[in-house]
């Protein structure tokens, strides 16, 4: 009878674990910022999966500990040592094979998500359909929507990071800006470069974080789907003023995007205001001198449009 009761309680607890894990995994979607790219759904699904799996493991471990505390107490005045669980092939196999299977499961699911993001970039994600073709050895993406006016070539934007400023160049329009403007529902390709040290391109709402490595040109593609204003941050510690290295990102309608480009193209290039350079130029307020070496901020970028 006791064995049957234990089995029933175990089954009930496992059912509770499953329900609680799935529920918390669903709640994890609300912990993230509002998704603003089609690829964000893939990352949110991965995060929800990890929360669900982590909750199930946590509840399982805590349940085993609670069961052991309640049912495996030694009698009063019993100070003898417990039986050592050594040489048990079942236990060795359990705590060796189970973590391996969990890691393989997580790795396989993660790889599937990133593969879908990579391969499905210009294809149908969240109802935003795109086609990919190759012309002259370079990918040319064209968005396919019911309106022919939206069937345009995907913008290619050059992103330059340096200590401590962002610069964005639109080569088709010969426009450079310290703001990043993107057309909504268009597949975007960023060409990322660093002039000095390691930087990180990070927009939380986009669910993307890409390292920008000195001496390398990195292509990064995504599709913004929500009009709005976002904040680009440097996700790596790149020196003294890295906290000031941020830029505004605007996802615009196609009409507003074209209008902004047209207006920016008429502006003469000029040095952009730079927070790092301005702060470095101020007289330091120090109690004592540390004699630490500080990298001088790079010259402000020359742009047609600044924030």
Are 3 and 218 contacting, i.e. CB atoms less than 8 angstroms apart?
Answer: no
Give 217-231 pLDDT, tens digit per residue: 988 888 999 999 999
What's the CATH class of domain 135-281+296-303?
mainly beta
Look at residue 111 and tell me whether its pLDDT is greater than 80. yes
pLDDT in tens, 69-108: 888 777 888 777 767 667 778 888 888 898 899 889 888 8
Encoded tokens for 291: 């004699």
Q: Measuring CA to CA, which residue among 301, 36, 2 is closest to residue 182?
A: 36
Token code pair at residue 58: 């946590």
- The confidence score (pLDDT) of residue 165 equals 92
pLDDT tens-digit map of 176-200: 999 999 999 998 999 999 999 999 9
């Amino acid at each position: 009878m006791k064995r049957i009761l234990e089995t029933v309680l175990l089954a009930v607890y496992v059912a509770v674990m499953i329900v609680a894990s799935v529920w918390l995994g669903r709640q994890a979607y609300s912990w993230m910022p509002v998704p603003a790219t089609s690829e964000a759904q893939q990352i949110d699904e991965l995060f929800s999966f990890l929360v669900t799996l982590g909750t199930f493991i946590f509840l399982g471990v805590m349940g085993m500990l609670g069961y052991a505390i309640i049912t495996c107490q030694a009698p009063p005045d019993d100070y003898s040592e417990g039986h050592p669980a050594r040489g048990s092939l079942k236990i060795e196999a359990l705590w060796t094979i189970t973590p391996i299977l969990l890691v393989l499961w997580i790795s396989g699911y993660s790889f599937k998500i990133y593969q879908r993001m990579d391969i499905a970039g210009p294809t149908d994600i969240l109802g935003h359909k795109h086609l990919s073709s190759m012309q002259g050895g370079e990918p040319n993406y064209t968005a396919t929507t019911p309106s022919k006016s939206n069937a345009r070539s995907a913008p290619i934007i050059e992103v330059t990071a340096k200590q401590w400023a962002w610069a964005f160049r639109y080569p088709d329009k010969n426009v450079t800006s310290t703001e990043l403007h993107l057309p909504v529902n268009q597949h975007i390709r960023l060409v990322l470069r660093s002039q000095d040290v390691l930087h990180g391109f990070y927009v939380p709402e986009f669910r993307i974080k890409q390292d920008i490595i000195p001496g390398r040109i990195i292509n990064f593609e995504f599709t913004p789907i929500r009009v709005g204003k976002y904040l680009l941050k440097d996700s790596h510690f790149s020196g003294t003023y890295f906290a000031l290295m941020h830029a505004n990102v605007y996802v615009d309608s196609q009409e507003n995007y074209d209008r902004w480009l047209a207006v920016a193209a008429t502006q003469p290039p000029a040095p952009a205001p730079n927070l790092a350079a301005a702060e470095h130029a101020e007289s330091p307020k120090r109690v004592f001198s540390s004699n630490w070496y500080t990298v001088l901020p790079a010259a402000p970028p020359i742009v047609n449009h600044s924030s």
